[in-house]
Structure 1
Amino acid sequence: MSEQGRRGQRPDHGRSGGGRSAAPRAGGNGPRAGGRPPQRRGRRGGEVDPVRTAAADTLEAVATSDAYANLVLPKLLRERGISGRDAAFATELVYGTLRLRGRYDAILARCTNDRPLDQVDPPVLDLLRLGAHQLLGMRVPAHAAVSETVALVRSRVSLGAGGFANAVLRAVSAADLETWLDRLSSEIHDDGARLAAVESHPAWVVRALRSSLRAHGRPATELPELLHADNEPPAVTLVARPGLVSPEEVVAQVDRSLAEDATPGRWAPTALRLPGGDPAALPAVREARAGVQDEGSQLVALALAAAPVEGQEARWLDLCAGPGGKSALLGAIAAERGVHLVANEVAPHRARLVAQSTAALPRESVEVRTGDGRTLGEAEPGAYDRVLVDAPCTGLGALRRRPESRWRRLPEDLPGLTALQRDLLESALAAVRPGGVVAYVTCSPHLAETSAVVADVLRGRDDVTRLDAREALLAATGRDVPGLGDGPDVQLWPHVHGTDAMFLALLRRER
């Protein structure tokens, strides 16, 4: 959320009571012509808005099935024929509710008549959060936000729950966002707890991010800005895969109303930012010559491709390739250099995604495999010139695009993840040949998953040199990316670089 949004100037999604778009739809039919199911009726006969119903269904799937909103919601919208402004409204409802859940919980806890939130039925609590976001994070009239949310509660839970929701949301609507935030700031005296509530992050994540900032030479005073950036919806960023399509060719395919506002990425020569629209509608994306990919994700792949390697090159390896964005970018560069890329993924369904992402590459240039990356180094020692380890992690660096991750991950997850990360990095160092380079990458700035893993693996080894990843980034982009710290590793930040918080270490095996 922008500073304006945080302080009460809410984005106008043009929706009034009943959930209908205030603007006329082109052709007079709009999304309802696409087969949207009829409106459900609440327990008292009132219609339940199908757009809000889609948002509620998505939140339910996220809560009960460990699903991800970015996978559930688009499919739901297509199936129900919801598009245009209605789709944008549903998207903001879902993502805003998930991002700001912690903030809304702190506010709701002050409106439930001393009833602890952990005693509120989870389906009701999710819908209260949905209502709170309409009241405090969007320009939805209070009467519409309350009545529509109450209708959802009555239709999905019970009449009694609807009465409870009505009372709670009316209490929420008694003050604007700025007043609520001032109240939270004055009532919560611990700095970490206050930031956790106001900027909607679990307290353990707040502590971890503060430590990471300090470890990378950044002042802890940047923490509120970093947390705030995590709550900003990310730009739509595309990658133009080298040798397959240029950024200019992608822009030429963008709708004319959006093309004027399309801009190059800030750092990566392959990146292109769009002001909106559906990237899947672009021919280059449908044909896998381009793709949706965060600029930070592009930068770490480009840096690996630019790192100095001794001797001739023939084979590269992406050890943990799913879902395939980095494989497709590396594969495009490899094809231009006459190098073969092996994209390995342990999960068959993710390996299929890798195959889709790399579909535009010549078949002789890329091989998609299914296998355990932890054993690949032993099976193929010294077989590769460059190896990417994009290790499974907490995902705390991508909270902008997967907001549910902040509520799903726990500190207890770290030991299992870091053990896996060490195993994968050790396998990669076995798989790379002397003179070759390994890139260790995580989409998390947590120190336990980044520099600590590298230090643990390198402890006692004298056959590996830690390269300066900043120099590789400069060679890859031709631009001096600021704010990278003292090196040799690179940590990108949402509030500094406008990317996910990607970590990169480059390691060269000497013998």
Structure 2
Amino acid sequence: MADRRPRVDPARLAAHDVLRAVRVDDAYANLVLPQVLRQHGLRERDAAFATELASGTLRMQGLYDEVIDACLTRPRLEAKVRDVLRLGVHQLLSMRVPDHAAISTSVDLTRARVGQGPAGLVNAVLRKVTEGDIEEWRRRVSPDRADDLLGHLAVRHSHPRWVVEALAQALDRPAELETLLMADNDAPGVTLVARPGLSTTEELVAAGGTASGRSPYAVSLSGGDPAAIPAVAEGRAGVQDEGSQLVALAVADAPLAGRDERWLDLCAGPGGKAALLASLAAGRNATVVAHERQPHRAALVANALRAVPPQAYRVVTGDGTRPSWVPGTFDRVLVDAPCSGLGALRRRPESRWRRSPGDLDELVPLQRALLDAGAESLRPGGVMVYATCSPVLAETVEVLDAVLAGRGDLEELDRMMLWPHRDGTDAMFAATLRRRS
């Protein structure tokens, strides 16, 4: 008997599988996507299509949900049907996919992944979506700009309102808020790091990259699979946002008097900054302790460090708020604290929908405790960088000010705030401190 199940192209199946993993398994899209692409055997154009379809849908799902709800006659909708509709809306409003192809493939996807029942609903909703382009739909579903600016921007640029409010408070130039939100929705480029002593920017440029700007080790990659580059496959280079590189360099380059042999990365997972620090330390006869609380993340750190000379680092698992070493052990310390991650919305599109203001109630005390533990680990005269991949004031300036107010032995040397719309990096905060003698 012939197989009458609808045939859906693997790229759309892969994108749907990513959305399902994010929703059901609480997965991170950027981590699950490579696995899904391999499972479906996707390469080059098909892989790029699936990546844009999944990541773009996740970024814009707030706006798309408003559009979908405006097209429904009944408010209730199964989550797995909404996944298919979101994918269809992204193809109709934000990708160069013909209307008939976006609708028919979405109906087939519904039959293949959900069942025959909702296929008619998906067809009807998506046909209504074709009545306007994305700008028309933004005008229809967004609050009036004059009456509610933040609400208008939240819907128009698909951010939760509380995130827009937090970014508005953190941004030193309020007129740039909409530009920042737009930058959050741009697909990020791939940036490589040539780990010093192991690789060079020249090697990565020869593999198809372009030397980048502020980090001397950064190379941007316009396309292709980074893992296919030998230096990346061997761990001599890695994929690392330039902002992340600059944070590690702030630790390594801070002026320091006296001994410079013992470095600490207190929250080292998943290992990008630790690998850059350790490769720099190897050239200075220093050693990095890469400390991570969670064993599975410590394994990621060890993998990131696999090409670094073993005498230049040690991976340690433990509670960073209660260090096992003697106070004053280290000359340089990085406290890259767990945070909301709202500075990395370009590459972690689902994060904006997972976080809530209540998360800060748990994160901020942890950040303060880790910064205090980092200060205790630092020798008098040593230098420390407190960093977050978040611009939110509660996690950055307010944490720093609270710890500085409670300790008389720390002084601030420098402060850096990077923004995607200005610097082309994740939004990253870094403050360099010295422990007074």
Shorter-chain TM-score category? over 0.9
Measure the CA separation in 1 of the matches of 2:346 and 2:400: 26
Map 1:290-305 onto structure 2 (within 5 A).
290-305=237-252
Letter in 2 for 1:229: A
Letter in 1 for 2:297: R
Q: Report the equivalent of 2:418.
A: 492
Select 2:174's aligned residue among 195, 220, 223: 220
Count residues in correspondence. Answer: 435
C-alpha displacement of 1:48 = 2.3
Letter in 1 for 2:17: D
Could you say what the CA RMSD is over the residues aligned between the two structures, in angstroms?
1.5
Letter in 2 for 1:455: D
Select 1:431's aligned residue among 356, 365, 377: 377
Select 1:231's aligned residue among 177, 185, 196: 185
**Structure 1: which 5+ residue stretches go unaligned?**
1-39, 469-488
The range that moved more, 51-60 or 433-442, is 51-60
- CA-to-aligned-CA distance 1:307-344 (integer Å, 9 cap, x gap): 11121211000000011000010001111111011101
Map 1:92-241 onto structure 2 (within 5 A).
92-113=52-73, 115-116=74-75, 119-185=76-142, 189-213=147-171, 218-241=172-195
**Structure 2: which 5+ residue stretches go unaligned?**
none
Letter in 2 for 1:93: L
Letter in 1 for 2:53: L
Select 1:72's aligned residue among 32, 36, 42: 32
Q: Report the equivalent of 2:9.
A: 49
C-alpha displacement of 1:186 = 6.8
Q: Report the equivalent of 1:392.
A: 338
Note if contact 1:132-1:169 (Cα within 8 Å) is conserved in structure 2: yes
C-alpha displacement of 1:45 = 4.0
- CA-to-aligned-CA distance 1:338-358 (integer Å, 9 cap, x gap): 101110111111111111111
- CA-to-aligned-CA distance 1:281-327 (integer Å, 9 cap, x gap): 11101111110000000001101111111212110000000110000
Q: Report the equivalent of 2:273.
A: 326
C-alpha displacement of 1:175 = 1.2
Note if contact 2:6-2:111 (Cα within 8 Å) is conserved in structure 1: no
User: Percent identity over the alignment?
Assistant: 57
C-alpha distance 130-367 of structure 1, shift in aligned 2 (>3 A):
same
> Secondary structure at the residue paired with 1:440?
strand
Letter in 2 for 1:491: M
Note if contact 1:184-1:194 (Cα within 8 Å) is conserved in structure 2: no
Q: Is 1:505 aligned with 2:416? A: no
Q: Which runs of 4+ in 1 moved over 6 A?
A: none
Q: Report the equivalent of 2:307.
A: 360
> Secondary structure at the residue paired with 2:283?
helix
The range that moved more, 66-75 or 148-157, is 148-157
Note if contact 2:248-2:273 (Cα within 8 Å) is conserved in structure 1: yes
Measure the CA separation in 2 of the matches of 1:401 and 1:324: 17
> Secondary structure at the residue paired with 2:257?
coil
C-alpha distance 456-186 of structure 1, shift in aligned 2 (>3 A):
closer
Q: Report the equivalent of 2:363.
A: 417
Q: Report the equivalent of 1:247.
A: 201
Q: Is 1:372 aligned with 2:319? A: yes
Measure the CA separation in 1 of the matches of 2:413 and 2:138: 45
